[in-house]
Structure 1
């Protein structure tokens, strides 16, 4: 299990591979992250209905599948897991392609702006580069300006592709962002 201090952004933070024992903490990060990040962007009833215990059970199921998804967590001494991110092969029309996709990155709301997100994205970029992917893609809600600024500061740019995402019975537009992972991929 890799544990790496991330002193460039947050000296007291470590980022490591997720274990099955982290599922409850990751579910808390994900649910609280969704509720904070998407308030006003997706139906509030959907956010209110999110359940940490159910999400933790899903995480355990995903974790047991032995798939190609890479999960990492960020933790602080005495506070435990406060952030989570995961990536794997890009998903398109039910197929997995050779490029990588950032599936999720969430931080507990009270830790936003403290370097946790930057530390997680730095680790994801390092790992996906080491895995040999040419680029890393992600989907972000079109109206989620703070998230879009975060990704742009991390070197991602929209590539012009937009698709609707159905959440709580409502279609919400998403924008695809891409970041090359190697000099040859950028050129």
Structure 2
């Protein structure tokens, strides 16, 4: 991802949230999502020299951004040193099921192949997302997180996929 991609990435992310989490998160939270504010956060993160995250974009034949993935070091304490975490993977809602997400996932997995494992968090009720990750070889690892959003509790489950090192772990 370059600075020129940020506005398009923010639009993909906001559209992805609104599609994936409709009925799973309070609608007022989804309605309040702001692509301009999201883009500002991405700009700040890209400008932060200490950031260890990697951003990937998928483009269509015209060069337009149609998907985005972000990964980096695992953030949860107590996990194996060197593990990675997929922080986000979103595809423009009208392109879900066309292979864009699979292509992004394949590149994330390729880039994390030398890690002992790759983790991610997914909203418990996000059946489509969970199925996507399970098809990519992820399995729930038993960790659950709850966050209150606009008066509702949103549960997330953590998934794990063994990497190239420690693949049997």
The TM-score normalised by the length of structure 1 is 0.84
Contact kept, 8 Å, 2:116 with 2:165, in 1: the verdict is no
Task: Please state if 1:165 is matched with 2:147.
Answer: yes
Question: Does structure 1 retain, via aligned residues, the 8 Å contact 2:117–2:166?
Answer: no
Q: Give, in angstroms, the shift of residue 19 of structure 1.
A: 0.8
- Kindly provide the CA deviation profile for residues 43-87 of structure 1, in whole angstroms up to 9, marking residues without a partner as x: 100100111111111110111112110100000122600000010
- Aligned counterparts, 1:40-55, within 5 A: 40-55=23-38
Number of positions where the alignment pairs a residue of Structure 1 with one of Structure 2:
168
RMSD: 1.9
1:180 is matched with which residue: 159, 162, 165? 162
Unaligned runs of 5+ in 2: none
Q: Is 1:33 matched with 2:24?
A: no
**TM-score between both structures, scaled by the size of structure 2:** 0.93
Matches within 5 A, 1:90-101: 90-93=74-77, 97-101=81-85
Q: Measure, in 2, the Cα distance between the counterparts of 1:98 and 1:135.
A: 8
Q: Following the alignment from structure 1 to structure 2, what is the Cα–Cα distance between the partners of residues 71 and 123?
A: 11
Query: Residue 59 of structure 1: SS of its match in structure 2?
Result: helix
Tell me how far 1:154 sits from its aligned partner: 0.4
Distance (whole Å) between structure 1 residues aligned to residue 149 and residue 100 of structure 2: 26
Q: Structure 1: which 5+ residue stretches go unaligned?
A: 1-17
Structure 1 runs, 4 residues or longer, greater than 6 Å off: none
